[in-house]
Homo-oligomer: A and B are copies of this chain.
Amino acid sequence: MRYIDIRSDTVTQPTQEMREAMFKAEVGDDVYDEDPTMKKLEKYAAEVVGKEDALFVPSGTFGNQLSIFTHCERGNEVILDDSCHIVVHEVGAASVIAGVQLRTINSDKEVMAPQDIKNRIRKGEDDLHFPSTGLICLENAHSNGRVVSLENMKEISETAHEKGIPVHLDGARVFNAATYLNVDPKEITQYCDSVMFCLSKGLCAPVGSLLAGSKDFIQKAKKKRKLMGGGLRQAGFLAAAGLIALEKMRFRLKEDHENARYLGERLNEIPEISVNLDDIHINMVFFRINKDINFREMVSFFLEKGIKINPPENGELRFVTNYWVSKKDVDYIVETMKEYLKK
């Protein structure tokens, strides 16, 4: 049975073209720096985001944590939004691996005010009691489904660099952000010193993310990647799929965004449902159902109809479109929702 899976874009299966590329991939021992396909991927990835060099890592969490570990000294303070992925969904790793102190900001719709950041920046040499701010982390697109403006990124970047503090971008969905802003990804990544982005979400590759930055940064990160157990051997298979993700799939994300908007608007027509249409920037639709629902039952109902959905978090449901979800599928999802609510 074919399922329509709208739980996340991480569930995306690779395309047939990816499978073929993997089948034929030329591979070597990447710990020996001898995997030609991986080298090609890393080179191209660096170009795409306008950085000197890039490094393959097994996951987005790995890339973010490796970046913090490489930028910071232990005991440094890292300023970031209280709801970002690094704070909420990475198991507290920054306190274990990099050993840094997170200094979180509560911000409206997760857009940090540059002034709030400025107020929190500290230099250890100023006061015996202060840790030094070692890094500022941004996330764009944010996992709340919204895209942060270039202006906001620019201002934060300038604030940081004035104080000599680097900026890392959690760009797990940076190509969704670029698509929404209708700009080259480099327009976004120019405001960060390092960026992590994922091949495995909307881009459909099976496994892997990239960390990009300066030559020096990536060289240091490479050693720490080994320490963290991320030195892979014949990784060219994953790179082969990743190349297609980067060379082709990132250019079709607009379709997912249009489907998400269409899904949001159609759901919003249902009386019991309120969709925050303003928040549909990328491929995510967040909404509430104003009715008493047994969500366990609802998830089962959808599953029987061939649709995989997640239960709500804090009362809010999230449907995510991707390559494998067509406009026709969206119609079917909406019909299924109507049917369920009529029950």
- Please give the residue numbers on chain A whose beta carbons come within 8 Å of chain B beta carbons, in ascending order: 7-8, 10-14, 19-20, 22-23, 27-29, 31-32, 34, 57-59, 61-63, 65-66, 73-77, 82, 87-97, 99-106, 124, 128-131, 200, 206-207, 222-224, 226-238
Ordered by A's residue number, 27 sampled pairs between the chains whose C-beta atoms are within 8 Å are: A11-B32, A22-B237, A27-B206, A31-B128, A59-B232, A61-B229, A62-B229, A66-B229, A75-B91, A75-B95, A75-B227, A91-B131, A91-B224, A92-B131, A93-B227, A93-B229, A95-B99, A95-B131, A96-B97, A97-B97, A97-B227, A99-B99, A102-B103, A124-B223, A206-B233, A207-B235, A229-B230
In the complex, the answer to whether A128 meets B237 with C-beta atoms within 8 Å is no
In the complex, the answer to whether B227 meets A91 with C-beta atoms within 8 Å is yes
Q: What residues of B have a CB within 8 angstroms of the CB of A22 in the complex?
A: 22-23, 237
Most buried by B among A27, A57, A223, A238: A223
- Known contacts A101-B94, A128-B223, A237-B207; A231/B59 CB under 8 A: yes
6 shortest interchain CB distances as A-B pairs = A62-B229, A92-B131, A206-B234, A91-B227, A89-B129, A95-B101
What is the bound-complex CA distance between A92 and B250, given in angstroms?
38
- Known contacts A58-B230, A230-B229, A232-B59; A95/B100 CB under 8 A: yes
Main secondary structure of the interface of A (DSSP, over half): loop
What is the bound-complex CA distance between A250 and B245, given in angstroms?
34
Shortest C-beta distance, A165 to chain B (Å), equals: 15
List the number of copies, as a whole number. Answer: 4
In the complex, the answer to whether B90 meets A129 with C-beta atoms within 8 Å is yes
What is the bound-complex CA distance between A93 and B77, given in angstroms?
10
In the complex, the answer to whether A91 meets B27 with C-beta atoms within 8 Å is no
Q: What residues of B have a CB within 8 angstroms of the CB of A228 in the complex?
A: 62, 65, 93, 97, 228-229
Q: What residues of B have a CB within 8 angstroms of the CB of A231 in the complex?
A: 59, 61, 128
Nearest chain B residue, comparing its CB with the CB of A234: B206
Q: What residues of B have a CB within 8 angstroms of the CB of A226 in the complex?
A: 61, 91, 128-129
What is the bound-complex CA distance between A235 and B224, given in angstroms?
23
Nearest chain B residue, comparing its CB with the CB of A92: B131
What is the bound-complex CA distance between A27 and B206, given in angstroms?
9
Q: Contact check: which of B20, B75, B103, B238 meets A104 at CB < 8 Å?
A: B103
